[in-house]
Amino acid sequence: MLTETSTTPPTFLLDAPRFLFLTGKGGVGKTSVACAAAISLAGAGRTVLLVSTDPASNVGQVFGLEIGATVTPVRAVPGLSALEIDPDHAAATYRERIVGPVRGLLPAAEVRLIEEQLSGACTTEIASFNEFTALLTGDESAAGFDHVIFDTAPTGHTIRLLQLPASWTDFLNDGKGDASCLGPLAGLDRQRTVYAAAVSALADPDRTRLVLVTRAQRAAVDEVARTHTELSALGLRRQHLVVNAVMPAPRLPDTLANAVRDREQAVLASLPAELAELPRDVLELKPENMVGLGALARLFEPGSTAPTDPQEPDDVSLPAGVASLDALVEELSHEDHGLIMLMGKGGVGKTTIAAAIAVALAERGLPVHLTTTDPAAHLTQTLAGAVPGLEVSRIDPATETERYRQSVLSRKGAALDEAGRASLEEDLRSPCTEEIAVFRAFSTIVNQGSRRFVVMDTAPTGHTLLLLDATGSYHRDAARQMGTSAAAFTTPMMRLQDPDHTKVLIVTLAEATPVLEAEELVGDLRRAGISPWAWVINNSLTAASTTDPLLLRRAHDEQAEITKVLRDSSHRCAIVPLLAHEPVGIAALRAVATAGTGQPVPDYGRTA
**C-alpha span between 325 and 361 (Å, rounded):** 12
Catalytic residue of the set 24, 26, 29, 338: 29
Eight-state DSSP code of residue 153: P
Q: Are strands 239-246 and 208-215 parallel, antiparallel or unpaired?
A: parallel
By the 8 A CB rule, do 65 and 291 touch? no
Catalytic residue among 32, 352, 373, 546: 32
Catalytic residue among 119, 513, 542, 569: 513
Q: Are 421 and 409 in contact (CB under 8 A)?
A: yes
DSSP letter string over 536-582?
EEEEESTTS----HHHHHHHHHHHHHHHHHHHHSTT-EEEEEPPSS-
Q: Measuring CA to CA, how many Å separate 116 from each of 103, 466, 470, 473, 489?
A: 14, 15, 11, 8, 21
**What gap in Å lies between CA 14 and CA 456, rounded to an integer?**
42
- What is the per-residue DSSP string for 472-501? HHHHHHHHHHH-TTSPP---HHHHHH-TTT
Active site residue 346: no
Asked whether the beta carbons of 532 and 371 are under 8 A apart, the reply is no
Asked if 54 is an active-site residue, the reply is: yes
Q: Is 253 helix (H, G, I), strand (E, B) or coil?
A: coil
- The yes-or-no answer on residue 30 being catalytic is yes
Query: Which residue in 31, 158, 433, 471 is the catalytic one?
Result: 31
DSSP letter for each residue of 368-379? EEEEE--TT--H
Catalytically annotated residue among 26, 27, 338, 344: 27
Catalytic site residue from 26, 54, 345, 461:
54
5, 23, 26, 30: which is the annotated catalytic residue? 30
Q: Decide: 307 and 273 in contact? Cβ < 8 Å.
A: no
Sequence-distant (6+) residues with CB within 8 A of 300 are 7, 8, 9, 10, 36, 40, 283
- Which amino acid would we find at residue 113? L
Pick the closest to residue 517 from 350, 375, 348 (CA basis): 348
Q: Which residues are catalytic?
A: 27, 29-32, 54, 513
